[in-house]
């Protein structure tokens, strides 16, 4: 996420935070599509997974907190291990689950997972299989109350985001809704 190939931003991570702030917070607020009854949790993917914003009501305060994350030195730095981030995201969703609550898990990545390097004995396909198992297991619990979204935040070379696409397909096969998109322009 440290590549500087996004027009108007110093890095992909900075652009991603601004996209979240504008597209998920500001525009829907201005259009009256979200309110303080909607909450957002931001989990940063690194070696582990770190919650940087927890169940913050959608407001201009949240907008500012996300913009602040864009400007923090450590945001978007280091490896992006999918498995710990997905597990933390699903645990967070389970903690906030209710029958009258629609849930969205939006997973952003600019490439392939770094989980391979945690244990060099794992082959690529084994790591992918473990990632898909985490998604299947948890999406079965949520069913269609969950939308699993994956966004590849980079130029796709045709195979760069195959795993993200498989993750969305796995969520759909497990009964959740799923959406995928990619690019540097939201």
What is the domain-level CATH number for residue 120? 3.40.50.410
97 vs 63, residue with greater confidence: 63
Domain range enclosing 27: 12-182
Element of type H or E holding 152? strand 146-152
User: Which pair of structure tokens corresponds to residue 18?
Assistant: 């601004």
| 6 inside domain | no
Q: Across all residues in the chain, what is the average pLDDT? A: 82
In a 10 Å sphere around its CB, with 0-12 CB exposed, 13-18 middle and 19+ buried, how is residue 89 labelled? buried
pLDDT, position 156: 67
Region 83-93: what's the mean pLDDT?
92
Region 170-178: what's the mean pLDDT?
97
Region 106-114: what's the mean pLDDT?
77
| Nearest one of 95, 90, 87, 115 to 105, comparing CA atoms | 90
| 7 inside domain | no
Domains contained in the chain, number? 1
pLDDT, position 151: 87
pLDDT at 103 over 70: yes
Measuring CA to CA, how many Å separate 151 from each of 46, 100, 119, 178? 17, 26, 26, 11
- CA pair distance 124, 128, nearest whole angstrom: 6
32 vs 158, residue with greater confidence: 32
pLDDT, position 160: 75
| 115 inside domain | yes
- CA pair distance 80, 12, nearest whole angstrom: 13
| 157 inside domain | yes
Q: What percent of the chain clears pLDDT 70, i.e. is strictly above it? A: 77
| 110 inside domain | yes
For residue range 113-167, list pLDDT tens digits in order: 766 655 555 666 788 899 999 999 999 999 999 999 998 877 666 677 899 999 9
| 4 inside domain | no
pLDDT at 70 over 60: yes
100 vs 86, residue with greater confidence: 86
| 46 inside domain | yes
| Nearest one of 44, 122, 104 to 80, comparing CA atoms | 44
| 1 inside domain | no
pLDDT at 6 over 50: no
143 Cβ neighbours under 8 A, 6+ residues apart: 175, 176
């Amino acid at each position: 996420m440290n590549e500087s190939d996004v027009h108007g931003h110093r890095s992909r991570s900075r652009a991603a935070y601004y996209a979240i702030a504008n597209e998920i917070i500001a525009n829907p607020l201005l259009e009256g599509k979200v309110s303080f009854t909607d909450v957002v949790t931001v989990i940063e993917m690194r070696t582990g997974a770190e919650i940087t914003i927890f169940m913050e009501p959608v407001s201009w305060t949240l907008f500012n907190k996300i913009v602040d994350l864009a400007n923090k030195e450590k945001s978007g730095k280091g490896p992006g291990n999918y498995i710990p981030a997905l597990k933390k995201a699903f645990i967070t969703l389970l903690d906030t689950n209710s029958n009258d609550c629609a849930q969205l898990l939006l997973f952003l990545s600019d490439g392939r997972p770094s989980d391979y390097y945690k244990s060099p004995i794992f082959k690529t396909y084994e790591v992918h299989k473990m990632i898909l198992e985490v998604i299947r297991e948890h999406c079965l619990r949520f069913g269609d109350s969950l939308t699993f979204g994956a966004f590849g935040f980079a130029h796709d070379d045709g195979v760069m985001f195959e795993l993200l696409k498989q993750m969305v397909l796995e969520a759909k096969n497990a009964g959740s809704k799923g959406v995928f998109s990619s690019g540097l322009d939201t």
